[in-house]
Structure 1
């Protein structure tokens, strides 16, 4: 998921400037617009009402995306992403208004313009899962419906926002779309402190795989943190992270291997298959046990018939080639990542190999 301008987010004032009335907005909410928070809306899809064209024209042009209904837990992550974007838009509009007011005061010779020192803590910093969405990191599965921010000295949970009262130093935050967010390294650390390893390892794997950061940078940032809570969890997540993994499902599987005490599984191992006239790559390979574990991610689980028939046949031939070479193959679906039965099957295969 990529945060920047994925969906079209608009405030009431922006919609009104397009020529709509409050009554028009109410009618649009039953059609192609959805209210995200007070005074902030998202354009959900292209509709048949020509009068709404100014709302969804950018979707037709490819600048913004429609909201895709997956019918599964991915929809909850999309909703949180939109909520974070909405809060960013509110912050951006507020700061733009303050900047215009300051320019007006300066032009009029007023000395009432307030200036914030760059070194002073900002009023609000996006953090944790919300910051991860802004950085484009994967959320393996929904763990919160609340926008997460930091405000020094405030610890409160509201219906749609979780405020933490820690202080984020200047070098651990950056500006995105007119608002403050924790840096990538600090975000990875905060998530690892707070959430389960399968959530944090998925993000670490992705960031390392794409070359967005390094272990050294993350450890250097961790050493600068005043907070010491759950530091062992951060080190564990870093130990489990592997840049070779290519999906959150693979990252969750690796965490499950650790939790079940399995060792020896190597990710993304490649085989030369002359009879198939190509190389094939498997998710996990245990050479000593001659065992392959393939992970069917969330998309495969829910898309089902959306997978082309020739792709299914190609997968069948690939798996048969591995079995012909003497490899055992165990497939793990997304749902089975969160149950015990499939991992007991893997355990039995490892024991039999010994």
Structure 2
């Protein structure tokens, strides 16, 4: 029996559908033989991939690759919700990504006898569809609003912030999409989330922290504020600032302490320099009268108990009425003297 050249499997999209293999002139017998020889692996019903390159993909790459196959497997469907966000390069949820999400235009069928696709049916005008990686998917605005309606709130805010930050969407587009989806399931969650979107936030953790704090009753902080001393010397750019409370919030992801150290083999001395610089920065901020609250991803668990403890402790230490400094939102703006209490109600902390 002749063995099919392994290169013919590699030439197919990865992963590939059985019908795609058949259209390329490959037989079912050839596919069965490749599976027996472990050259090809079965991923889902009628979905296959060449073993070695497939097993080398990371979870994000796997999901994007599966999204192509999922969209090709169901006529009149497009990749949507969090799956579309991942394909657009937006932040993926913390933890398992789950099934590939699709929105089907005119299918009367939304359940399938397998566990790798999640199919929803909804109105899908042509101007709500775009393309990435050769795959049909919802536009960034549709993806953001869909994610707020269907995904965990903190993940959806991270997607929305990143889409705005990366220039994939404008605030007006989000408002128009929210109006289009009036009375759709979950639209009130989308309306709540759109009121929090800020493209100045720089990471999943920063966005998720704001989402969790908001749900716990905290006001929305300002993001990426530059703090200077009274002589104009730069002290630090902070992740979050509640001006009414004099509290600075620092979302401590691993990247913050890597600093400019791109090399994974950084020496202990280089790492210690980064940590000491961060310590000196915090001391400089607190010497001005601010209180710095720090938290990590684990502090968002249990409904944000760790985050709330950090903010409450900082609130007790802060001296907002005694702060003497200059500040600005962007480097090209003039420095402003600190004034307390601030006029903006959004700068307040929760009443306590």
Q: TM-score range by the shorter chain?
A: 0.5 to 0.7
Residue 346 of structure 1 pairs with residue 311 of structure 2: yes
Alpha-carbon deviation of 1:174? 2.2
Output one character per residue of 1:136-164: Cα deviation in whole Å (capped at 9) or x when no partner: 11124136411111223222163111111
Residue 88 of structure 1 pairs with residue 97 of structure 2: no
From 49, 72, 76, give the equivalent of 1:40: 49
The equivalent of 1:317 in structure 2 is 280
Q: Quick one: distance in 2 between partners of 1:287 and 1:267?
A: 11
Residue 333 of structure 1 pairs with residue 289 of structure 2: no
Structure 1 segments, 4+ long, off by >3 Å, are 8-14, 20-29, 33-37, 41-46, 89-92, 175-179, 273-279, 298-307, 351-354
Output one character per residue of 1:278-318: Cα deviation in whole Å (capped at 9) or x when no partner: 55211112233222211112656999996833222221221
Q: Quick one: distance in 2 between partners of 1:323 and 1:132?
A: 38
Residue 267 of structure 1 pairs with residue 267 of structure 2: no
Gaps of at least 5 residues in structure 1 are 1-7, 47-65, 68-77, 95-120
Please tell me whether the aligned partners of residues 80 and 146 of structure 1 are also in contact (alpha carbons under 8 angstroms): no
- C-alpha root-mean-square deviation of aligned residues, in Å? 3.8
Q: How do 1:200-239 residues align onto structure 2 when only pairs under 5 Å count? A: 200-225=156-181, 228-239=184-195
The equivalent of 1:252 in structure 2 is 208
The equivalent of 1:154 in structure 2 is 109
Alpha-carbon deviation of 1:235? 0.8
Alignment length, in residue pairs?
A: 284
Q: Quick one: distance in 1 between partners of 2:117 and 2:309?
A: 39
Change (3 A) 1:84 1:333: same
Residue 132 of structure 1 pairs with residue 58 of structure 2: no
Gaps of at least 5 residues in structure 2 are 1-12, 319-351
Q: Quick one: distance in 1 between partners of 2:41 and 2:235?
A: 47
Please tell me whether the aligned partners of residues 238 and 249 of structure 2 are also in contact (alpha carbons under 8 angstroms): yes
TM-score, L = length of structure 2? 0.67
* Structure 1 counterpart SS, 2:249: strand
Please tell me whether the aligned partners of residues 299 and 306 of structure 2 are also in contact (alpha carbons under 8 angstroms): yes
Please tell me whether the aligned partners of residues 71 and 77 of structure 2 are also in contact (alpha carbons under 8 angstroms): no
Alpha-carbon deviation of 1:135? 1.3
Please tell me whether the aligned partners of residues 301 and 334 of structure 1 are also in contact (alpha carbons under 8 angstroms): no
Please tell me whether the aligned partners of residues 9 and 42 of structure 1 are also in contact (alpha carbons under 8 angstroms): no
* Structure 2 counterpart SS, 1:141: coil
TM-score, L = length of structure 1? 0.67
Change (3 A) 1:179 1:140: closer
